[in-house]
Amino acid sequence: MAQINTGLKRVFTIFNIFFAVVGGVILGLALVSQVLTNIQGGENLEGRTTGLIVLYVVGAVTMAIAILGAYGAHRESKGALIAFLVCMVIGTLLMLRVGVPSAIARPELRGVLASKFREFLPLDQTKEDVKSMADALQTQAHCCGLFSYTDWENNIPDSCLCNQLGEDECKTVTYNSFYTQSKSVYAQTCFPIILHYVLLVVDIMIGVTFTLGILALFGVILSSVMIHQMRHPNRPAIFLSVPTLFAPPPKYQELHNPPAY
């Protein structure tokens, strides 16, 4: 005999289907973020790999929990529903723990990144791996230097050179090494491009975090009600009603004929 209300079971099933779809969307966003950052030469950006791994893990775990909840509702398995409830409680707390500080820290991310990248200046004297990453980024994103072409001092690399003379993306610079030289380099710097894609990944993660937090809280409520129904299968459903000021009239009244005189 079914112990869970049929309507509630349907709502819970729809919720888990939507929850699984969200997990699939998270996996898709992680894949898109990976492709976009690869295209822009950001495959070696610090923290980029960690962020993508987190998105992949969160997406996969979300789909697994959704399957667990759907199975528990379909089979009316108290153990599966309790496990689902525990996952939802933990998920809600984790999402709040991650999402709130991330949203508060986001406005400061530009300054933090700028300070971090200024530690690599001048680029012509930095580590070889950083120099290689900068060259690759400049070639693919058509930019020169992190904040200015002067980041390379007097050793501007060929990856900065712009061959499309006369267009807005190029500018001619003059500098002195052994003798005065002029080069046409990309006018755009690389730091705004890096910042754009870092903020893109951060915004995706914040949006995913709060979306999952809201869904997890909703899952806590639904699974708690279902577990309660399974523990008290014979208890009638309680519906909230709005109190009225006046009692409704009776369905019928007994008529009394007056006595005849």
- Judge if 78 and 200 occupy the same domain: yes
- Judge if 52 and 141 occupy the same domain: no
Dihedral over Cα of 241, 242, 244, 250: its sign: negative
Is 144 inside a domain boundary?
A: yes
- Judge if 13 and 56 occupy the same domain: yes
- Judge if 109 and 205 occupy the same domain: yes
- Judge if 20 and 144 occupy the same domain: no
Q: How far apart are CA 69 and CA 54, in angstroms?
A: 22
* Out of 28-32, 152-156, 168-172, least confident range: 168-172
Mean pLDDT, residues 175-197: 80
Token pair belonging to 60: 């996969």
Average pLDDT, the chain: 78
- Model-level pTM? 0.64
Model confidence at 161, in pLDDT bands (50, 70, 90)? confident
According to the model, what pLDDT value does residue 47 have? 55
Q: How far apart are CA 226 and CA 76, in angstroms?
A: 9
Model confidence at 98, in pLDDT bands (50, 70, 90)? confident
Is 159 inside a domain boundary?
A: yes
CATH code (residue 164): 1.10.1450
Residues found in the chain = 261
Residue 81: which of 72, 92, 89 has the closest Cα?
72
- Judge if 182 and 207 occupy the same domain: no
Phi and psi angles of residue 186, each rounded to the nearest 5 degrees, phi first: -70, 135
Is 18 inside a domain boundary?
A: yes
- Judge if 188 and 201 occupy the same domain: no
Higher per-residue confidence, 172 vs 253: 172
- Judge if 13 and 141 occupy the same domain: no
Is 246 inside a domain boundary?
A: no
Q: Which residue has the tokens 């969160």?
A: 58
According to the model, what pLDDT value does residue 237 have? 45
Q: How far apart are CA 245 and CA 70, in angstroms?
A: 43
- Give the residue numbers spanning the domain of 77: 6-113+194-231
Q: How far apart are CA 205 and CA 55, in angstroms?
A: 7
CB 55 within 8 A of CB 30: yes
User: pLDDT tens digit string along 27-64?
Assistant: 888 888 777 766 554 555 555 677 778 778 888 888 88
Q: How far apart are CA 169 and CA 96, in angstroms?
A: 43
- pLDDT > 90: what percent of the chain? 1
According to the model, what pLDDT value does residue 242 have? 42
H/E stretch holding 183:
strand 180-186
- Judge if 102 and 128 occupy the same domain: no
Is 242 inside a domain boundary?
A: no
Mean pLDDT, residues 75-90: 86
Which value, in Å, is the radius of gyration of the alpha carbons in the chain? 31
Task: Map residue 206 onto helix, strand or coil.
Answer: helix
- Judge if 19 and 141 occupy the same domain: no
User: pLDDT tens digit string along 231-247?
Assistant: 766 555 443 344 444 45
CB 104 within 8 A of CB 210: no
Q: Tally the domains of the chain.
A: 2
- Judge if 145 and 93 occupy the same domain: no
Q: How far apart are CA 37 and CA 44, in angstroms?
A: 9
Higher per-residue confidence, 206 vs 183: 206
Model confidence at 133, in pLDDT bands (50, 70, 90)? confident
- pLDDT > 70: what percent of the chain? 77
Q: Does residue 194 surpass a pLDDT of 80?
A: yes
- Judge if 100 and 209 occupy the same domain: yes
CA distances from 184 to 119, 121, 167 (A): 26, 21, 11
CB 186 within 8 A of CB 7: no
CA distances from 162 to 64, 76, 82, 165 (A): 50, 66, 62, 7
Is 251 inside a domain boundary?
A: no
